[in-house]
Structure 1
Amino acid sequence: MLATRKLATPAILLCTLIFSQLAQANNREIEVDHKVVTEHKTQIEGQRVAYSATTGTQPVWDDEGKAIATLFYTYYQRTDVKDQASRPLVISFNGGPGSASVWMHIAYTGPRILKIDDEGYPVQPYGIDTNPYSILDVADIVFVNPVNTGYSRVLKDTDGKMPAKDKQKEQFFGVNADIKYLAEWVNTFVTRNNRWLSPKFLIGESYGTTRVSGLALALQNNQWMYLNGVILVSPTDIGIERDGPVKAANRLPYFAATAWHHGKLDKELQALDLDALLPQVEEFTLNKLIPALSKGSFIDAAEKQAVIAQMARYSGLNPQVIAQSNLDVSTAFYWKELLRDEGKTVGRLDSRYLGIDEKDVGDKPDYWAELTSWLHSFTPAINYYLREELNYKTDIKYNMFGPVHPWDRSDNKTGENLRLAMAQNPYLKVLIQSGYYDGATNYFDAKYNMWHLDPSGKMKERLSFKGYRSGHMMYLRREDLKASNQDLREFIRSALPGQQSARYPR
């Protein structure tokens, strides 16, 4: 006997549809493909600038054309210029991995910045102010939030289920997966916004430097999109090895800058300007400390004592501590040790910041004083700014740091990829920017990256370095905000194409 099926009446179907729509409306989900445009005016370098701000989401598609994620972005476009096509476009990423594109957005290159004092410390009540040094006068900017950062999210599959963690990792959460999907996303963004003729620049901060180094080649070789410039802000190792003696020794110039800032050097060194002190320390690091560390326990006793004495003089540490560390003083220990006698610790990302631990003993701080301050101030500022000034309203939580771990760091060849991109593209230039007080990605490691990015030396005239008297986010300090944006402005102008052919001359 066959079972009979009762057909749904139109009224039942209508109710079902209404309940389905209500259920969907009550779910906290980001719109997959959506944007809001607002119009603004500001003053940059004394010049009046009119611009639009587009906030929205754009899908990430798989190989079959199905939306598997959506990325939240903010796109600033100057509107008072005649030739939009020739305007440079700067594509901006932060790092982590897992960090939203918030830090450079509202503290560095964007037209609005966090309220902050001249030395770069956030000011209460937290909010947003005008950025008179933004590069928006010379370039349009898009700030991109990778998957699970900001409002960007992984999407449910066709069955309404979230992909398994392993599948998400394979698609998004690793050095090469990250680069692959972002290159596709950038291609779509450039196409939708008619920016193929524009000179293009990538800027990345911290892990974002790994990201943009890899993207430089991925965009060229897989998307046929050639760049004019890549800017590395507080760079990571980008796959360039600097282990062993080099890793240990390269910390000393950072130690010296930090000790100088806190007045922990002897009178002779303390009387020097930082720009006069650091070259001394760098020369000692390269010519004395690396060779000494390379000799290990077989170093001559007299040489070892001389090296210890000089390390102590430059770092502000007790010679006994350096000897007990076998000349290899970790950064975590340094943050705890330098001001231990004052009952203070120094910050990891910016050693100008001070912290207070439960106990003065120990080999690392209880917390990162600078990151606590930044999360305290940036979080309300970005949430207010996006919702109230840029009119982007959603119930999705803005992830300052999103769930992206475990991150697959294997097969990191991003430094080599950047070198190859430069070799393939005769007009691709690279600018490196670092803060002297950054203990997470120290400035001397950044210089080392630059020296070893192109072992042949044939492209070194296209590599440049700029240092600043601030930390990981060197642009927080007012003087450095002005200087670093001006350095970007000059770099962009220097990398704009002329009428020359894209080839190497004989």
Structure 2
Amino acid sequence: MNLSKFLAVCFIAVGFNCAAADHNRAIDIDSKVVTNHKATINGERISYSVTSGTQPVWNEQGEPTATLYYNYYKKDKVDDISKRPLLISFNGGPGSASVWMHIAYTGPRILKIDDEGYPVQPYGMKDNPYSVLDVADIVFVNPVKTGYSRVLPNKEGKMPSADEQKAQFFGVNADIKYLADWINTFITRNNRSLSPKFLIGESYGTVRVSGLARELQQAHWWFLNGVVLVSPTDIGIERQGPVKAANRLPYFAATAWHHKVLPAELQAKDLTEVLSEVERFTIDQYLPALAKGAFIANDDKQAIAERVAFYSGLSKQFVLQNNLDISDDAFWKELLRDQGYILGRLDSRYLGIDKRDAGDRPDYFPELSAWLHAFTPAINHYIREELNYKTDVQYNMLANVHPWDRSNNNTGEQLREAMAENPYLNVLIQAGYYDGATNYFDAKYTLWQLDPSGKMRDRLSFKGYRSGHMMYLRKEDLKTSNDDLREFIKASLKSQTRSAKY
């Protein structure tokens, strides 16, 4: 038994004999296992190491309050690490492990799935020839309670109360603060102070990395080169009322096009051509109509309902029954009701079967069920057998971190401030057209509103994909999204040849 494990179990088992404590199910507070691998990525044969381990979170008194599990991928034989980018990766939830992008998007080993992203048995892993490890080292970080990351007892051996844990870890701003401290330690421990630095976050992870961009600058004086928002939430940029309702329509159109239930003249067009048309209608006509509410003229209401039905695949009657404002739940239940199917939320290409065709919302979301039963065995086997990190602690795919404190979410503004202060900082948004949880047109809206002045418009970019929330599950989009990320990293580095000034 190594010293760190001995101290960890003794720390947890205060008041007990440490020999007996050896049987506690506890993660090492500070640990490291290194394995070596080879892969062909983007046509280049490379060797790399993976450090799998835990690193503590400390309070202001220097006492460990939690330990975070991470996986650090580092390319071998790099002459000058100061020129080698570091990509720090988070998933979302809140309460999701750093598993989805780890073994399905940017990492060099990914889940065995079919070309459209559907699980296949036997479960397992395969090489990812599109990983960005050729251009950047990557660290996948698991926030508290996700993966193998855990809250620690205090020096008296008592676990903090639920309220104390919430104040320390489980809220928009608490999450950003402790993770910034953790990143600061990781950077200095691993000699990455001079390396170009990038953050990537998916879903709620976009709130996290938007806030971290500012916190790392403000509290630790680390200035980033790029932030990537994958399937972003609102990041504190409000879109309520008519805006929220109108922004759903382009996603509805994409989903209906995929399931071939749009009128023939739309089905004959390419998806992006259809979406361009729907987006114009949404901004120019649908949003103003919704803003008029009950005082819209009846003729205008009838005309708008007809056009919404035309673009959404729904009936005009259904649109009118919902007063032009169709909720996501209603759409997922209604679109293919006559065929006996419901739609997936995170990826509306997925279909499910409800107990009753009647009703106004699906019983469950088929895509998440499919993903969990494929990802869970794969990540557990991969970490234990390929990365050689062995523990009896359960790997939490999804952890209970609720109630999450969502108050004072100003992360979009924090990202704008970080960009304003740092002329090197660029932002890329990536979104799937079939994502109903964080729809792609909301992502575009967030991009438009992030910097109302328009002075940093040339540092903001958007890429869309023909898949869902995890757009990289589809093979074609796995390649395209990694290529887009690779080019974003390279382009962001080119600006380093210029002085950081306006």
Distance, in Å, in 2 between the alignment partners of 1:46 and 1:269 is 39
Distance, in Å, in 2 between the alignment partners of 1:141 and 1:20 is 40
Distance, in Å, in 2 between the alignment partners of 1:49 and 1:364 is 49
Deviation at 1:19, TM superposition (A): 6.8
**2:252 paired residue number:** 255
Distance, in Å, in 1 between the alignment partners of 2:444 and 2:190 is 36
Distance, in Å, in 1 between the alignment partners of 2:274 and 2:347 is 19
Q: Deviations over 1:195-250 (max 9, x none)?
A: 01000000000000000000000000101000000000000000001000000000
**Out of 492, 497, 500, which is 2:498 matched to?**
500
Deviation at 1:498, TM superposition (A): 2.7
Conservation of the 8 A alpha-carbon contact between 1:440 and 1:472? yes
Instruction: Rate the CA distance shift 1:498–1:17 in 2: closer, same or farther, 3 A.
Output: closer
Distance, in Å, in 1 between the alignment partners of 2:120 and 2:457 is 41
Q: Deviations over 1:12-61 (max 9, x none)?
A: xxxx9997123311111100000100000000012101000000000000
**2:225 paired residue number:** 228
**1:127 paired residue number:** 124
Conservation of the 8 A alpha-carbon contact between 1:49 and 1:80? no
The AA in structure 2 aligned to 1:468 is Y
Conservation of the 8 A alpha-carbon contact between 2:167 and 2:174? yes
| Residues 1:272 and 2:300 are matched in the alignment | no
Conservation of the 8 A alpha-carbon contact between 2:67 and 2:144? yes
Instruction: Rate the CA distance shift 1:317–1:284 in 2: closer, same or farther, 3 A.
Output: same
| Residues 1:146 and 2:156 are matched in the alignment | no
DSSP 3-state at the match of 1:295: helix
Distance, in Å, in 2 between the alignment partners of 1:233 and 1:161 is 38
Q: Which runs of 5+ in 2 are unaligned?
A: 1-12
The AA in structure 2 aligned to 1:498 is Q
**Out of 64, 74, 87, which is 1:90 matched to?**
87
DSSP 3-state at the match of 2:442: helix
**1:212 paired residue number:** 209
Q: Name the Cα RMSD after superposition.
A: 1.2
**2:27 paired residue number:** 30
Distance, in Å, in 1 between the alignment partners of 2:357 and 2:16 is 60
DSSP 3-state at the match of 1:50: strand
Deviation at 1:83, TM superposition (A): 1.6
TM-score, structure 2 as length reference = 0.96
Distance, in Å, in 1 between the alignment partners of 2:284 and 2:38 is 53
| Residues 1:237 and 2:234 are matched in the alignment | yes
Range 18-27 or range 156-165, more displaced: 18-27
| Residues 1:490 and 2:452 are matched in the alignment | no
The AA in structure 1 aligned to 2:111 is L
DSSP 3-state at the match of 2:82: coil
Question: How many residues get paired?
Answer: 489
Conservation of the 8 A alpha-carbon contact between 2:424 and 2:496? no
**1:283 paired residue number:** 280
Aligned-pair identity (%): 70
TM-score, structure 1 as length reference = 0.96
Distance, in Å, in 1 between the alignment partners of 2:454 and 2:497 is 26
The AA in structure 1 aligned to 2:499 is S
Conservation of the 8 A alpha-carbon contact between 2:14 and 2:157? no
**2:366 paired residue number:** 369
**2:438 paired residue number:** 441
**1:325 paired residue number:** 322
Conservation of the 8 A alpha-carbon contact between 2:350 and 2:366? yes
Q: Which runs of 5+ in 1 are unaligned?
A: 1-15
The AA in structure 2 aligned to 1:183 is A
User: Where has structure 1 moved over 3 Å in runs of 4 or more?
Assistant: 16-19
**1:471 paired residue number:** 468
The AA in structure 2 aligned to 1:389 is E
The AA in structure 1 aligned to 2:310 is R
Range 131-140 or range 76-85, more displaced: 76-85
